[in-house]
């Protein structure tokens, strides 16, 4: 590799890391919940947190690999920094996985540069960190599948088996999708039946683990609901903004246009082989027609799997024998400059978000450790990011000071840390509903993110039970008149005053 190419790769890698390290807080919706899960895992028996009083660890879950990797990093870093390190690793793994796949499909490897900005799609801003971490693993699995079909040997079989197990323990939906595409590629390519059966055999351990996990889950009639589809034209129209940016800022729309220009300017041939068109066709159909919820869990199919549209399309490209080096450099510069421009724009917005979020640190410092917090987010948008960046900021109380908070992902059975015996010691579950409360349900603190005067909104019972501790910018913190320490075990609830 020439020095110029190496410099271009380093510049793209550094640029994509800038938004991740541009401030203490990142405007990624679910990120605080994932950091809280990692904090529980890291401080399970560590004073003064002692999370083992209320939680139990579920290591046999499709999310565990991501958090185990984060736990290893917390031996050196804090949970917050460990998650950012994982995000940075994710940023590097995506273009590497693109390069490996293009090597197997005999495509122009210059396209791998697009793997850098792909990190900044819907999954990034939703904070779907375990799913995002699974994306390069899926692409590596496809690459190894193609290699296995050409050279079936014990080394490839072992690699496919281990990678499929790793995929299962990273994210269940990505595992099912990745194996389905690999299975279709294997079935549609020429090859002996014996070779195809050998491929299926290496998947048996991970499939067995998946079936065992599903059968071991307790599913009661109360939490079973019909599958929701919510199919409409809106899915097609929102796909472009899901691939890059996930909002309506003009910078991200311009970035997507230039990335497409860079992609189409690359010298390549479009293959007519049917099997090469299957991954992108299935992925597009999945984004447009996949279910929106299952067992009362929002799947966000289009938002999640939009990240696979570009890697799935890599199969259709074939390299050409004689390349125009000058034209290749124009394509490289378009993609690299777009990546740098997009990263700088996002870094600037993330810095602005941290300036807006600085009031939260003042509020956080006012709270005593190991208490119970309920948070409402009545103002879910802000100037730097349009999509609910502070929705789960209450999780930072648990991360830095321990205790309990609502609404928490610990209520979900597939998380690595859950309440003991599936019993939530907090007496209410607000879920995704942010509504008025009389504040008499046993929490020590009530944190409200709002642009309105929240004292004026309190009803008489709430005013009797609570006192205003601090109002800092859009943050309102109320404290119970009579403090209660958290329950010493999972069978004790908090009684109202």
**pLDDT tens-digit map of 408-439:** 898 887 899 998 876 666 655 444 444 445 45
Pairing of strands 404-406, 372-377: parallel
Q: Are residues 139 and 262 in the same domain?
A: yes
d(CA 139, CA 178): 8
Closest CA to 132 of 246, 297, 21, 292: 246
How does residue 222 score in pLDDT terms, banded at 50, 70 and 90?
Answer: very low
For 264-306, the pLDDT digits (tens) are 899 899 999 999 999 999 999 989 988 876 655 667 788 889 9
In a domain, 384, yes or no: yes
pLDDT score for 280 = 97
Q: In whole angstroms, give the CA distance from residue 169 to residue 61.
A: 6
Q: Is residue 28 domain-resident?
A: no
Domain shared by 308 and 363, yes or no: no
Sequence-separated (6 or more) residues with CB below 8 Å from residue 254: none
pLDDT digits (tens, 9 = 90+) for 326-385: 889 999 999 999 999 999 999 999 999 998 888 999 999 999 999 989 888 877 666 556
If one counts the domains in the chain, the total is: 2
The three-state secondary structure class of 107 is: coil
Note whether 283 and 367 are same-domain residues. no
Asked if residue 34 is part of any domain, the answer here is no
Instruction: Tell me if 306 is assigned to some domain.
Output: yes
The Cα 408–Cα 429 span in angstroms is 9
Q: What is the mean pLDDT of residues 58-71?
A: 94
Q: 81 with 159, same domain?
A: yes
Q: Whole domain around residue 284: which residue ranges?
A: 58-320
Q: Compute CA 35 distance to the chain's CA centroid, rounded to the nearest angstrom.
A: 11
In-domain check, residue 2: no
In this structure, are 209 and 137 located in the same domain? yes
Judge whether 407 lies within some domain: yes
Higher pLDDT, 7 or 145: 145
Q: What is the pLDDT of residues 298-334, one digit of tens each?
A: 677 888 899 999 999 999 999 988 888 888 999 999 9
Same domain, yes or no: 311 and 365: no
User: Are 77 and 152 within one domain?
Assistant: yes
DSSP characters over 378-421: S----SS-SS-TTTTTTHHHHHHH-SEEES-GGGSTTSSEEEGG
User: Does residue 439 contact residue 460 with C-beta atoms inside 8 Å?
Assistant: no
Q: Are residues 210 and 145 in the same domain?
A: yes
368: which DSSP letter?
Answer: P
Contacts of 490 (CB under 8 A, 6+ apart): 53, 54, 419, 420, 421, 423, 425
pLDDT exceeds cutoff 50 at 490: no
Q: For residues 27 and 391, what is the distance between their CA atoms, to the nearest angstrom?
A: 10
Residues 360 and 313 grouped into a single domain: no
Say whether both 301 and 395 belong to one domain. Answer: no
Same domain? 263 vs 311 = yes
| pLDDT given at position 491 | 39
Residues 195-220: pLDDT tens digits? 999 999 999 999 999 999 988 876 55
- Check pLDDT > 50 for residue 224: no
Of 354, 385, 349, 379, residue with least CA distance to 475: 379
Closest CA to 124 of 114, 115, 133: 133
The pLDDT mean for the chain works out to 86
Task: Answer with the residue of higher pLDDT: 192 or 138.
Answer: 138
Specify the pLDDT at position 435: 45
Please report the pLDDT score of residue 247 as a whole number: 63
Contact 270, 263 (CB under 8 A): no
Distances (CA, A) of 40 to 37, 74, 86, 172, 405: 5, 11, 17, 22, 13
Regarding whether 421 and 312 lie in a shared domain, the answer is no
Residue 222: burial class (beta carbons within 10 Å; 0-12, 13-18, 19+): exposed
Residue 220 lies in a domain: yes
Domain membership flag for residue 381: yes
């Amino acid at each position: 590799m020439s020095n110029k190419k190496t410099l271009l790769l380093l510049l793209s890698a550094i640029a994509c890391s800038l938004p991740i390290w541009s401030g203490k807080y990142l405007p990624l919706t679910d990120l605080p919940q994932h950091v809280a899960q990692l904090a529980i895992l890291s401080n399970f028996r560590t004073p003064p947190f002692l999370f083992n009083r209320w939680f139990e660890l579920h290591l046999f879950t499709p999310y565990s690999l991501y958090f185990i990797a984060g736990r290893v990093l917390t031996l050196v870093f804090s949970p917050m920094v460990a998650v950012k390190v994982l995000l940075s690793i994710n940023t590097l793994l995506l273009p590497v996985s693109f390069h490996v796949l293009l090597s197997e499909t005999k495509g122009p490897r210059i396209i791998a540069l697009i793997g850098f900005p792909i990190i900044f799609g819907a999954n990034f801003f939703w904070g779907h960190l375990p799913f995002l971490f699974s994306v390069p693993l899926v692409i590596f699995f496809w690459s190894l599948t193609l290699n296995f079909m050409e050279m079936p040997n014990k080394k490839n079989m072992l690699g496919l088996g281990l990678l499929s197990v790793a995929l299962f323990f990273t994210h269940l939906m990505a595992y099912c999708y990745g194996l389905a595409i690999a299975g279709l590629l294997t079935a549609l390519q020429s090859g002996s039946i014996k070779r195809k059966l050998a491929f299926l055999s290496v998947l048996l351990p991970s499939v067995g683990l998946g079936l065992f996990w599903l059968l071991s889950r307790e599913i009661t009639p109360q939490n079973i609901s019909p599958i929701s589809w919510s199919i409409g034209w809106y899915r097609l129209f929102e796909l472009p903004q899901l691939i890059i940016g996930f909002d309506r800022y003009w910078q991200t729309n311009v970035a997507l246009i230039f990335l497409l220009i860079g992609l189409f300017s690359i010298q390549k041939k479009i293959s007519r082989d049917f099997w090469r068109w299957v991954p992108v066709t299935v992925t597009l159909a999945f984004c447009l027609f996949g279910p929106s919820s299952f067992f009362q869990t929002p799947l966000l199919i289009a938002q999640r799997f939009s990240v696979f549209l570009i890697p799935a399309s890599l199969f259709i490209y074939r390299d050409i024998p004689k390349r125009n080096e000058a034209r290749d450099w124009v394509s490289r510069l378009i993609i690299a400059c777009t990546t740098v421009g997009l990263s700088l724009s996002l870094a600037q917005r993330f810095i602005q978000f941290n300036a807006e979020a600085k009031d939260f640190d003042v509020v956080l410092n006012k709270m005593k450790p190991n208490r119970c917090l309920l948070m409402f987010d009545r103002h879910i948008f802000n100037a730097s990011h349009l999509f609910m960046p502070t929705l789960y900021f209450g999780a930072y109380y648990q991360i830095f000071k321990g205790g309990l908070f609502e609404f928490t992902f610990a209520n979900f059975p597939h998380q690595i840390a859950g309440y003991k015996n599936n019993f939530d010691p907090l007496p209410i579950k607000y879920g995704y509903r942010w509504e008025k409360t009389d504040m008499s349900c046993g929490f020590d603190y009530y944190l409200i993110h709002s642009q309105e005067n929240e004292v004026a909104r309190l009803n008489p019972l709430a005013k009797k039970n609570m006192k205003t501790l601090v109002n800092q910018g859009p943050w309102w913190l109320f404290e119970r008149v009579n403090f209660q320490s958290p329950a010493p075990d999972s069978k004790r609830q908090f009684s109202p005053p």
